[in-house]
């Protein structure tokens, strides 16, 4: 299994999210950058716990959902940002790292 790297995950996730936010990126950038980093850190945390066989696939999924909910809530605090746009950005960010994350974990988390 490959090891996840924070910088690689964040770079890919931010590029995908930025493409979705498009002209709204300057409005949400200060919120999105740290939130996607937290999401990437959660994926790395899951990888570490999974490597030690201390988390089930179901629990890993719950942990990821909790961080996605937090990311969603923080970005909704930005005036004018709608749930659909934010959800599209989160989905695009996760899709951008799906293959590498799932390969590293050995199961389809994303």
Domain ranges of the chain: 6-105
pLDDT at residue 80 is higher than 60: yes
pLDDT-derived band at 23 (thresholds 50, 70, 90) equals: very high
Helix (H) or strand (E) holding 75: helix 57-76
How far is it, in rounded angstroms, from Cα 24 to Cα 85? 10
Provide the pLDDT for residue 1.
Answer: 57
Q: What does the pLDDT look like over 7-22, one tens digit per residue?
A: 999 999 999 999 999 9
């Amino acid at each position: 299994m490959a090891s996840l790297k924070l910088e690689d995950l964040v770079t890919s996730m931010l590029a995908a999210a930025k493409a979705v936010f498009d002209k709204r990126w300057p409005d949400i950038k200060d919120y999105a950058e740290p939130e996607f980093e937290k999401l990437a850190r959660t994926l790395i945390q899951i990888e570490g716990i999974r490597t030690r066989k201390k988390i089930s696939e179901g629990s890993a999924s719950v942990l990821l959902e909790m961080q996605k909910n937090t990311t969603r809530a923080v970005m909704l605090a930005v005036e004018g940002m709608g749930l659909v746009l934010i959800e599209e950005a989160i989905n695009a960010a996760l899709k951008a790292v799906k293959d590498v994350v799932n390969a590293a974990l050995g199961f389809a988390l994303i």
